[in-house]
Amino acid sequence: MLCGTNMTDIKIANRSAILRLLHESGGMSRKQIAARLKLTPATITVIINELMSEGILEEGISIPNAGSAGRREVLVEISRSKHVALGLALGVGQAKFAAVNLHGEKIYEETICLPQDLTLQYVVEEVAGRIRAVIEHQSYSEEYIIGLGITVCGVVDCANGIILDSGGLWDDKNVPIVDKLRDVFSFPVIAANSVRSFANAYIFLQRDQKAQNMLFIRNEATMGVTLFLDGQFYGGNREVFDGIAHYTVIPDGRLCSCGKRGCLSTVATQDGMMESLRERFGKESTPLLYRQTEGVFSRLTFPMFVDAACNGDKGALEILENAQEAFANAVTFSIRLLSVQEVVFYGEMFEKEPFFLMLKEKLVKKTGASYKDNIYRAVPHSMQLEWNAAPIMAVTSFFGEGGHKDY
């Protein structure tokens, strides 16, 4: 017989399943929910009534009852009011603070300037104070704030809320940021690596609850990679899967931030390609770029580099093709090793169609007939993952606990 904690766990699991289903499918009738989840109508009615009384669910439009002529069923949907999730994305020189509703729709955003010598004390006192002021000004009730998600471009021990390595934000290691902010706020606080939070937000906003094996790659000035394997993020409590970024492609190549030489990130990122271009830049080797900039390298931008490569600048094209070749080799290896079903690319460079089509062509050739070109997707910046990912992390944790703030 099930009792005590077991029954509690089952109820939380059922509440979570209802929230995930409604997020994925939109409004549904109680009868439809019961059928999809294979639960009794009585169980569904009790749980939905609870979630409605808590302001998490609300009734929507009514639809004809398929099994009874003349009768109608009222749809149930996730509420867009009352509950708010907060997010703080910490970066060098600034932080992005945002609030979203339970649908992940942004309802507030603000950029907070940060000092170059950022410290945990500053985050706790100044940044948390600014967040508190916004909460009061926007009249957010703390009863309905489901949590604060914090992201950093570094290594995070999610289970213990410790930033092991902040990726250059501060020198200190093993920073207990979650415990410090939990002393300030009454609602839950969680922390995660930024790239993993981007992937989590991407899945959430795509409403793709069937996603199983996905490689998510953010490649801009630096490269970050996360792996979604068998429906879960891979990497343990350290929340890091960086095998591709620090895969050696040029033995004794340029020094990488990880301390090794010749890593993929030193070749295939924006910074890596621009450094290769700096070494190659010249009137004869990169004639188109040299003319455009009047021989002044500092005038060059990454979009100019890509455009020049696509327009036949020999030196720029060679750098781009070498970078893409190394990148495609590393991605192909991961696809085959991990049976990846989807590869998602996020970053400015992938929004340039010639660049992405060139990369995709290389990947299709390397992976062969077993993988089609539709497994490769470029995420548009219009999804605004830099803003949405941190608060959406709080939403997904809230759903995972069945709408309880116990995560």
Segments making up each domain of the chain, as ranges:
5-78, 84-204+385-400, 212-383
Alpha-carbon Rg for the chain in angstroms: 24
pLDDT over 50 at 68, yes or no: yes
pLDDT tens for residues 83-107? 999 999 999 899 999 999 999 999 9
More reliable by pLDDT, 399 or 227: 399
Alpha helices in 311-352 (DSSP H): 314-338
Q: Give the residue among 207, 198, 227 at the shortest CA–CA distance from 383.
A: 198
Comparing 4-18, 77-91, 214-228, the range with the smallest average pLDDT is 4-18
Q: How confident is the model at residue 238 (pLDDT cuts 50, 70, 90)?
A: very low
Q: How confident is the model at residue 67 (pLDDT cuts 50, 70, 90)?
A: low
Read off the pLDDT of each residue in 15-36 and give the average, rounded to a whole number. 94
Q: What is the C-alpha separation between 44 and 4, in angstroms, rounded?
A: 20
pLDDT tens for residues 318-337? 999 999 999 999 999 888 88
pLDDT at 141: 92
Contact between residue 241 and residue 226 where contact means Cβ atoms under 8 Å apart: yes
Question: Which CATH architecture group holds 5-78?
Answer: Orthogonal Bundle (1.10)
Q: Give every CB contact of residue 381 below 8 A, 6+ residues apart in sequence.
A: 348, 351
Q: Give every CB contact of residue 79 below 8 A, 6+ residues apart in sequence.
A: 55, 56, 57, 58, 101, 102
Residue located via tokens 């709408």: 403
CB atoms within 10 A of CB 183: 10
Q: What is the C-alpha separation between 338 and 2, in angstroms, rounded?
A: 38
Contact between residue 227 and residue 219 where contact means Cβ atoms under 8 Å apart: no
- Is 84-204+385-400 CATH 3.30.420.40? yes
pLDDT over 50 at 1, yes or no: no
Q: How confident is the model at residue 369 (pLDDT cuts 50, 70, 90)?
A: low
pLDDT tens for residues 244-259? 888 888 998 999 888 8
CATH topology of domain 212-383: Nucleotidyltransferase; domain 5 (3.30.420)
Residue located via tokens 């990148």: 327
Residue located via tokens 């600014």: 130
pLDDT at 70: 54
HSE-CB at 153 with a 13 A cutoff on CA atoms is 18
Q: What is the C-alpha separation between 289 and 311, in angstroms, rounded?
A: 10
Kindly provide the b/e burial profile for residues 209-229, where b requires at least 16 CB atoms within 10 angstroms of the residue's own CB.
eeeebbbbbbbeebbbbbbbb
pLDDT at 2: 44
Mean pLDDT across the chain:
89
- The structure tokens listed for 247 are 């895969």
Residue type, 400: G
pLDDT tens for residues 268-305? 999 999 999 999 999 999 999 999 999 999 999 999 99
Q: How confident is the model at residue 235 (pLDDT cuts 50, 70, 90)?
A: low
pLDDT at 132: 95
One fold for 5-78 and 212-383: no
pLDDT tens for residues 136-191? 999 999 999 999 999 998 888 888 899 988 888 888 889 999 999 999 999 999 99
pLDDT over 80 at 208, yes or no: no
More reliable by pLDDT, 116 or 211: 116
Report the Cα 126 to chain-centroid distance in Å.
Answer: 26
Contact between residue 346 and residue 218 where contact means Cβ atoms under 8 Å apart: yes
pLDDT at 407: 77
